[in-house]
Amino acid sequence: MRLRSKLGRQLRYPMRWLSFLASGVPVILVFPALSLSYLAWFALVPGMVLFTRAATTREAVARGWWFGAGYLIAMLYWMAPEIGPGLVLLGAVMGWMWSPFAVAVHKLLRPGVSWRRLAAGFVVVPSCWLIPEWIRSYQGLGGPWDLYGASQWQHPAVLALAAVGGVWLVSVALIMANSALVVLLGALWPSLLVPAATTDAPVPDATVTASPAVTSAAALSPVATGTAAVGAAPVAVAATVTAAASAPADSAVRRLGRASAGVAAFVVAAGAGPLAFALTPPFPAARSETIAMVQPGVVNNPTARTDASETLTAQFSTGGTLGGVKPDLIVWGESSIADDLTGSSQADRALLAQIEALSAKDGAEILVNQDTTPPGKGHEKWAVLVSPSGVQGIYVKTRLVPFGEYIPFRQQLGWLTSISKAASSNMVPGTGAHLLNAVDRSGRPLPIGVLICFESAFPDMSRVDADLGAQLIVYQSSTPTFQGTWGPDQHASLGAIRAAETGRPVVQAALTGDTVAFDARGRQLAWLDQSSSGVVTVRVNLPAPAARTFYDQAGDYVMWSGVGITALAALVMLLRRRDFLARSTGAAAGRTAEYDADTGDPVRS
């Protein structure tokens, strides 16, 4: 009963429901399929306003939790068939990750804070936003899906930031822009960003006796209130009255300064991407290659489905060309065959011989993908590079889809299989990213970084391939379970982010869509959607194997800096609450009490 009562109380707070909607709606709008990505620059402002209006820090924590739950549920709605009610449970349990962000907004961006706090806000608030993005990057917690910076996949000028600091830096720019608008709103309409109880509170007759600087600051703050001081002298009262009389003029100047700071911060955030785009030209093209990607589309016949990629490739193959084009590499989607090309059975050897013959006919190696259980091993997914002379390389999928290919903490969450389509058994992961050394149709080496499906969400894997010397990043995908949802569109858009981060072109072949290609700056070259089938060919410029973006070289320094800044801010907040930074709580003999103008906390007298 006590638990039910606590849960019931949570549902009686309309501001928390609004916080839930204030994140869920932006997620739906800014990511595919709607892709109204320009809204990301201000879509979080309503939620941030709700955080500043929280009457207490505890309430800000609660609103941040609801905000996070809305973000997660809206982000993964298309996973509902796989995990069922587990999606709601995931949002309810993991929504806390956005609470530090809510507290930072509440403490640092509301009207009346000092200039020092305001300046800290432009650093701490984006850093706190990176906390849930960092935690979610762990595969078992869903992976880094729909990181806020990924909403800008259609804008190469903004994605230039990804080449400098990864998708994390794009997120920072977006959050800084939203923070700047909150500051601007606070300067223009202070009452909008403070709790109604604070703005409506009557001004007490007695005032705090303080030093002139602190008294003036309190008078300027739109949320400052007074408390009685014992033994206030007439001189002190006169000083307070004088400060209050000059408040309107000073307040107007202060608000103008805050508005200017907000505008300046927004300009910096919005202009950072185009500036990076201008200052970081693409790598010189070492050479160009033609890549063919095969998308069979939805095939309802189970028998024909397993041969669909081979059949479609054969249909398009005539006279050493594929669809009239001479490709250097042919890519099939994930799970395009159900046999083991390294097996010894007659069926396995026959299929390998057929693919070898198809490779010889087209004059290009074929990257296939098998979904099998090899003898003596567990269930695995392999990318297999096949030439006319046999298997040339294998990559085993390393990052598996939570609940789809394995269940995290299966011992505790295995019950989900009885109420959803969650994986009945766990697949076996590979050992990590590595190159496959393909050869183009003229015999030149073509080192490729091959990753499978869900792995496109992880920036570290494509960066490892780039560091190893890959000239092209290739993804193989299969998402028929989510056909007709926004999931495949969101998945395909991640290729643009990985291309911008690594400075390499990215291609993705999908069984049922979306099959896509992006150049080295994240510009879209091809997009075959879920309703289509066919062969897509693109000509891509490849950088030299040794080319590295700054992000390739420096790694996730933005993310780790954000974690460090958040930890430092939390420490400062803890010390202030513990009174280590402000030890005086009253007036010593012959002295007066002083209070912080921003928080009301006692300070050293």
- CATH no. for residue 505? 3.60.110.10
Cis ω for the linkage preceding 119 (within 30 of 0): no
CA-angle at 302, arms to 297 and 305, nearest 5°? 35
| DSSP reduced 3-state for 375 | coil
In a domain, 307, yes or no: yes
Domain count, the chain: 3
In a domain, 6, yes or no: no
Can you tell me the distance from the alpha carbon of 64 to that of 51, in angstroms, rounded to the nearest whole number? 7
Same domain, 368 and 271: no
Nearest to 142 by CA among 416, 379, 407: 407
Q: What does DSSP assign to residue 469?
A: T
Same domain, 170 and 296: no
In a domain, 177, yes or no: yes
Pairing of strands 287-295, 317-318: unpaired
Can you tell me the distance from the alpha carbon of 291 to that of 73, in angstroms, rounded to the nearest whole number? 37
In a domain, 356, yes or no: yes
**The last residue of a domain, from among 548, 563, 588:** 548
Same domain, 390 and 403: no
Mean pLDDT (the chain) is: 84
Q: Which two tokens stand for residue 165?
A: 């600091």
Same domain, 441 and 295: yes
Cis ω for the linkage preceding 440 (within 30 of 0): no
Q: What is the dihedral of CA 49, 64, 88, 148, to 10 degrees?
A: 70
Q: In sequence order, what DSSP letters do the residues of 5-62 get, joined into one string?
A: HHHHHHTT-HHHHHHHHHHHHHHHHHSTTT--GGGGGTTTHHHHHHHHT-SSHHHHHH
Location of structure tokens 């997620």: 27
In a domain, 257, yes or no: no
In a domain, 497, yes or no: yes
pLDDT tens track for 145-183: 899 999 999 999 999 999 999 999 999 999 999 999 999
Q: Residue 249's pLDDT is what?
A: 42
Pairing of strands 506-510, 472-477: parallel
In a domain, 520, yes or no: yes
Element of type H or E holding 249:
helix 234-279
Same domain, 270 and 304: no
Longest dimension (CA), the chain: 103
Q: What does DSSP assign to residue 443?
A: S
* Per-residue CA distances from 41 to 26, 149, 153, 178 (Å): 10, 10, 14, 6
**Sequence-separated (6 or more) residues with CB below 8 Å from residue 422:** 82, 83, 84, 86, 403, 404, 407, 416
User: Do 462 and 501 form a contact (C-beta atoms < 8 A)?
Assistant: yes
User: Do 362 and 327 form a contact (C-beta atoms < 8 A)?
Assistant: yes
Same domain, 448 and 529: yes
Range in 44-48, 79-83, 532-536 the model is least confident about: 79-83
* Per-residue CA distances from 416 to 27, 84, 230 (Å): 26, 8, 63
Residue type, 587: A
Q: What is the distance between the terminal CA atoms of the chain, rounded to a whole angstrom?
A: 48
In a domain, 155, yes or no: yes
More confident residue, 153 or 487: 153
Same domain, 468 and 440: yes
pLDDT tens track for 213-257: 433 333 334 334 344 333 443 443 333 333 333 334 447 888 999
pLDDT tens track for 446-472: 999 999 998 999 999 999 999 999 999
Same domain, 359 and 474: yes
Domain that holds residue 503: 287-398+433-548
Same domain, 272 and 310: no
**The last residue of a domain, from among 229, 253, 279:** 279
Can you tell me the distance from the alpha carbon of 159 to that of 168, in angstroms, rounded to the nearest whole number? 11
Same domain, 91 and 35: yes
Same domain, 407 and 530: no
**The last residue of a domain, from among 229, 249, 279:** 279
Q: What is the pTM of this model?
A: 0.84
Location of structure tokens 């007066």: 592
Same domain, 408 and 363: no
pLDDT tens track for 19-44: 999 999 999 999 998 999 999 999 99
User: Do 285 and 541 form a contact (C-beta atoms < 8 A)?
Assistant: yes
pLDDT tens track for 236-248: 333 333 333 333 4
Can you tell me the distance from the alpha carbon of 210 to that of 232, in angstroms, rounded to the nearest whole number? 10
- Tell me the pLDDT band of 55, cut-offs 50, 70 and 90: very high
**Can you tell me the mean pLDDT for 288-317?**
87
User: Do 367 and 474 form a contact (C-beta atoms < 8 A)?
Assistant: yes
Q: Which two tokens stand for residue 375?
A: 């003898």
Q: Residue 239's pLDDT is what?
A: 37
